[in-house]
Amino acid sequence: MRWTVEPNVDHPKWPHNVLVTGGNESLESALVEYWKRILTDGSALAPSARTELAIEILPKTFDKDDPGFSQAIFYTSVNRQCEGLGTYLLRHSDFTCIQSEEEDDASFERKQLVWQLDQYAELKKALKDRAAWPLFEKIRASGPLGIRVATSNGWIDFRADQEGLGPLPENDQLLLAGKETTPDDLLQDLAGGVLDIPWMRIVEEFTTALIQYTPPYFKNIHCKITEGTKQGKRALFYDIQCPEFPDEGTTDPGIRLHVAATRMVQHLTAERGAFPGVIVRLTQQPDESWLHSLECLKSGS
């Protein structure tokens, strides 16, 4: 196996560091190599530049899809993606969880969650390998390093030096128990067949990703998304701001927020025939809950 660098067309300052594996190389050995590179690079950073490592493993879900992958990103003490290092990707044929034609979305969501949790167990096992664990102890000796792993419903504390993961998001717990997830159950009751439930879930996914991406002291978040072309290809453009901190805005959304935004754009495009552009505004309330509004822009805005 070998490491290579792929350019990130949308965000050039965050290139993709990709671990390329051969057809006969096991996922177990690849995960150990994956950890070694991530922890070695992280050790060269100041603790404030790598306060947290966020990891998400996504499977290939349909036969025609690209291979599934793991992505890992260092975040700073103010919850910004670390400059310069980019994203660490591991693609492997074992990252596969196929949804059959007979399988409904709810059943598959539970199956994929179980699959993801199994992958994170293997990831933890690889970290404990004698080739990787000393590197983790070295980086942690210079300053804390939190690790979180993602499901479609939120983040889970990886708890590297303990057995098992931290508490699962509420909806993940409900899925594993074979129950309806809270947003679906509540919204269906309130909607009475009128509200667009898939759209509401897409917006919820996006707003959650936006809150997680921005610094914790951002209490008012404005995110404008428009569509244009970049190097001859369609692209999304972002303007993320906090009115109280005008110098800390960014046009770089990070990987997870970009994925959530893409789903939102695809939904609007399918409904309207074209993406009009949107402004999403979030305001944190005294009880730390969030209010949000979404405004579609006119063409050319």
Which pLDDT score is estimated for 22? 83
pLDDT at residue 273, as a whole number: 81
Interval 185-235: pLDDT, tens: 334 444 444 445 577 878 888 999 999 889 889 999 999 999 998 878 888
> Of the ranges 91-95, 119-123, 182-186, which one carries the lowest mean pLDDT score?
182-186
Helices (H), the chain: 27-43, 105-127, 133-141, 170-176, 182-191, 197-213, 255-272
CA nearest neighbour of 162 among 113, 121, 206: 121
* Interaxial angle between packed helices 197-213 and 255-272, expressed in degrees from 0 to 180 and rounded to the nearest 10: 150
Cβ-based neighbours of 169, under 8 Å, separated by 6 or more: 151, 153, 154, 155, 156
Instruction: Output DSSP code: residue 83.
Output: T
Sequence ranges of the domains in the chain: 2-179, 189-296
Q: Report the candidate in 275, 272, 184 with the shortest Cα–Cα distance to residue 229.
A: 275
Residue burial 24-36, b: 16+ Cβ < 10 Å; e: rest: eeebeebbbbbbb
User: What average pLDDT does the segment 178-188 reach?
Assistant: 58
pLDDT in tens, 107-166: 888 999 999 999 999 999 999 999 999 999 999 999 999 999 998 888 899 999 999 999
Q: Which conformational region is residue 87 in: left (phi greater than 0), alpha (psi within -120 to 50 degrees), or beta?
A: beta
Closest to 53 in 3D by CA, of 67, 70, 69? 70
pLDDT band with cut points at 50, 70 and 90 for residue 300:
very low
- What is the model's pLDDT at position 255? 78
Distance CA 263, CA 242 (A): 24
**8 Å CB contact between 251 and 237:** yes
Q: In this model, does residue 30 exceed pLDDT 90?
A: yes
Pairing, β 220-230 against β 154-157 = unpaired
Token representation of residue 143: 């300053």
Which pTM does this prediction carry? 0.68
Angle (deg, nearest 10), helices 27-43 and 105-127: 60
CATH number of 189-296: 3.30.500
Q: What is the mean pLDDT of the chain?
A: 87
Identify the pLDDT of residue 51: 92
pLDDT of amino acid 192: 45
186 CB-near residues (< 8 Å, 6+ apart): none
How far is it, in rounded angstroms, from Cα 265 to Cα 284? 24
What is the DSSP track for 280-292? EEEEE-TTS-EEE
